[in-house]
Structure 1
Amino acid sequence: MTNKKIDLGIMLNGPGSHMHAWKSDEVPSDASTNFNFQLDIARKAEQAGFSFVFVADGLYINEKSIPHFLDRHEPLTFLAALAPITTQIGLVGTISTSYSEPFTVARQLSTIDKLSNGRAGWNVVTSPLAGSADNYSKGDHPEHDIRYDIAEEHIQVVQGLWDSYEDDAFMFDVETGEYVDKSKMHTLDYNGQFFQVKGPLNASRSEQGQPVIFQAGASPKGQAYAAKYADAVFTLGESLDIAKRNYDSIKDQAQAFGRNPEHIKVYPILAPIIGKDKDEVEARFNEIKSLATIEEALDYLGRYYDHHDFSQYELDAPFPELGEVGKNSFRATTDAIAERAKSQNLTLRQVALEETVRRSPFTGTYNEVAELMIEWFEQGAADGFIFGPHVYGEIYDEFLNKVLPILEEKGYYTQSYDGDTLRDHLGIPFKENRYSHSKITNR
């Protein structure tokens, strides 16, 4: 038995992570906006002890976008609706630093944190798709590394605003007429290259101090940003070796920034295909593959390259040399695709179909998947996993009812919660107020 526990989050991604999950007879075709369907997923996750639900987002669509991305809920509004009808599970939403104002973001997330009694989290993204610029009035889409420079200032402002009041600032003393101790109210006065924000924020702190910061950047710049600011990081999980390299890189960089590596959690993506035996597993894999045509697979692949048109290339020729295409979009993903295609001599057809439904390492029987999760955990490749099945249906229910009990029996999982806040669930400390801390150290 072990004292360490595998942590789990779950993606609320409409019908599933596959581009045509909506076609499956296991989910409602309108799952991306079917609130009751997604609430059922969240409630099952909460009953099973998942630490958080995660809602992804994007700011640009066109006719070739993933179908269930064409009509989906805005994350923070959706999470605000979930806050009073869930009790323990964390609520994590995506917001772009490239196309949002820090003061507004700070207010929105602070409100969800208060509504949920300290269960909010922010997945910080820089928005990879250049088309996003066409939906805002901020000029051209920033270059990849500049987006992270913007993101660095953005999070400094937001976290500074979240400390506008010390934890015990509000007194509500009717007898003295003192609503707040104004000596514990602080103005930020931030003046940077991209943002100038005075403050203070009109919001007090929550039970966990500040919302938890999540990040998913896989490029060197993205990983450095995560190591400096994030409390939790989503990583790619193509193999144990890749996952371990990402894990070690993030932890080592966090330590170099003077942080405790134990206080930054790493979650590879877990998109399992499971079954009672190998035949059922293979049948399910083939069923998921059949949901998309090759034309649809090319559109899906194109999204990583800012909706590049792959129909212009020969399908069964080697994967094309694309030069700088994709470098200002999903850079880490496109670099990984190019490297894999070259090393394995893959054709465009093979790459497109593989990207549409990748055969995850976590493809196998219930026991095989449970054992592999334990191996990644013990080998230092994961503190937990972000669960995002290709289709929400039987695989989700079987993961809860077949795989989790194996992990529990072996002492690697528990369906009970430690504490009440998201920070409690993740095993990371309360976020101290910078002004309270400075007073303590100056005494």
Structure 2
Amino acid sequence: MGNASTAANKRQIKLGAFLMETGHHIAAWRHPDALASGGLDFSHYAELAAIAERAKFDAVFFADNVGINESNVNVLSRTARADHFEPLTLLSALAVVTKQIGLIATVSTSFNEPFNVARKFASLDHLSGGRSGWNMVTSSTELEAQNFNLEKHTAHATRYERAREFHQVVTGLWDSWDEDAFLRDKESGRYFASDKLHVLNHHGKHFQVRGPLNVARSPQGSPVVVQAGASEAGRQLAAETAEVIFVAHQTFEEAQAFYRDIKGRMTRFGRDPDHLKVMPGIFPVVGRTQEEAEEKFDTLQNLVHPEVGLALLSKMSGVDLSRFPVDGLVPELPETNGGKSRQQLLLDLARRDNLTIRQLYLRIAGARGHQQVVGTPKSIADQLQQWFEEDGADGFNIMSPWLPGGLTDFVESVVPELQRRGLFRSEYTSNTLRGNLGLPYPANRYEQRHVA
């Protein structure tokens, strides 16, 4: 009881369940307890969302890409990454079978239009009673670009320039209606107050969007904006626009440096640093003992096909590494038009630990560059607590190794340990994603002008 009452008065860890088909480990689908067909099985996702909601997670989160990012079909055929639901469609269905957990989906600014994105997330917010979040990303692969009338992807800097304007348009459209615009007064015959509708009339370099949005203002003011970029351009965009940021770190020192950098940048935009929650990805393998945890991890590692490991590393680094000796040290990599921060993270990891190509692909087979923790509930909770209390994170995006077992392990053993320490809630404090994350309700920009 003492912990619970103390917890009510202090900052607490935020938790997201980052769900990926059969699990995050590249060989998860081969695990004896994994559902190999999970990518297109709604009951599978409904069960996972229920597990996370019972544990009082802030949100479930789905990444996405708009294409199959493997040019080698033989390699692709050895993974479970070829078929999965479009995430917004899936979250709309999950909204019906959940009550309080947040629903966050990735939608790229590179191959979408702002009006459609604004409308879909506003609709999901109404369907869920205020639980939607948009993970705003810029797509990075040529294979995705080639599904949208392009031979080559646009340059990295241009993608971020477009993303910034995309965000301006989406958030502008979300302010199309005042809070109390809809009267629906049968007696007077007035459905809405005409002075409470606002036309955006955006004219920019990348977009011309008139508006207004044909969806009433969101139950939580506007859906929560999430971001995942860690390059210089990504950090600037996050400090300016994001309310949650998902990020990958290998060491506590990297996490601290990033956390302080992002929070420090926010003041330049007149933002309160507490209005952006930094949530690194964590890949936890939990055992009752250290030996049991390592055995669980080895079970997965032994299922990694060499071609799959090499292809994963090549994709993440942006460079085809198949022409180099697999048991030789990782070579210097040329800069690419793909993701900058992840390539640098991989290089730093390889240099720090003097890894061969094979050792590096095995190192990232589960967490893909995120922090990998293999241990007991206590040792994992110790690390999360340190990162949280010493300016490395506001919370964590839990990347279960395989599903549903990896998530169940974390929920049944690590979550109670965090609760005992007063670091995580035992009950939801709000019915909205914003409320549970401790984010402010956003004012409508037109109402602000009106007040001024």
What interval of TM-score do these two structures reach, taking the shorter chain for normalisation?
A: over 0.9
Any runs of at least 4 consecutive aligned residues in structure 1 with deviations exceeding 4 A, and if so which? 358-361
* Partner-residue secondary structure (3-state), 1:122: strand
Instruction: Give the aligned partner of residue 347 of structure 2.
Output: 338
Give 1:48's aligned amino acid.
Answer: A
8 A contact 1:273–1:360 mirrored in 2: no
CA distance in 1, matches of 2:131, 2:294: 38
Instruction: Give the aligned partner of residue 98 of structure 1.
Output: 110
Of 72, 85, 91, the match for 2:97: 85
Q: Note the C-alpha offset of 1:367.
A: 0.9
Give 1:244's aligned amino acid.
Answer: Q
CA distance in 2, matches of 1:69, 1:150: 28
Give 2:244's aligned amino acid.
Answer: A
Give 2:24's aligned amino acid.
Answer: S
CA distance in 1, matches of 2:167, 2:15: 25
Instruction: Give the aligned partner of residue 54 of structure 1.
Output: 61
Instruction: Give the aligned partner of residue 364 of structure 1.
Output: 375
Q: Deviations over 1:299-343 (max 9, x none)?
A: 11122144x43221111222122212xx31121011121222234
Q: Is 1:188 aligned with 2:195? A: no
CA distance in 1, matches of 2:169, 2:285: 42
Q: How does 1:242-281 map to 2 (within 5 A)?
A: 242-281=254-293
Pick closer, same or farther for the CA change 1:101–1:142 going to 2, 3 Å: same
* Partner-residue secondary structure (3-state), 2:160: helix
Q: How does 1:229-248 map to 2 (within 5 A)?
A: 229-248=241-260
8 A contact 1:50–1:415 mirrored in 2: no
Q: How does 1:93-132 map to 2 (within 5 A)?
A: 93-132=105-144
Of 407, 416, 425, the match for 2:436: 425
8 A contact 2:15–2:58 mirrored in 1: yes
Aligned residues: 438
Q: How does 1:2-401 map to 2 (within 5 A)?
A: 2=7, 3-61=10-68, 62=70, 63=73, 64-65=75-76, 67-138=79-150, 140-306=152-318, 308-324=319-335, 327-357=336-366, 360=371, 362-401=373-412
Give 2:316's aligned amino acid.
Answer: Y
Percentage of matched positions with identical amino acids: 38
**Structure 1 unpaired stretches of 5+:** none
**Higher RCO structure (Cα 8 Å, ≥6 apart):** 2
Q: Note the C-alpha offset of 1:136.
A: 0.6
CA distance in 1, matches of 2:249, 2:426: 24
Q: Deviations over 1:268-325 (max 9, x none)?
A: 111111111121011112111112122210011122144x43221111222122212x
Q: Note the C-alpha offset of 1:398.
A: 2.2
8 A contact 1:13–1:55 mirrored in 2: yes
**Structure 2 unpaired stretches of 5+:** 1-5
CA distance in 2, matches of 1:388, 1:28: 16
Aligned-pair RMSD on alpha carbons?
1.5
Give 1:410's aligned amino acid.
Answer: R
* Partner-residue secondary structure (3-state), 1:135: coil
8 A contact 1:118–1:206 mirrored in 2: yes
User: What TM-score results when the alignment is normalised by the length of structure 2?
Assistant: 0.94
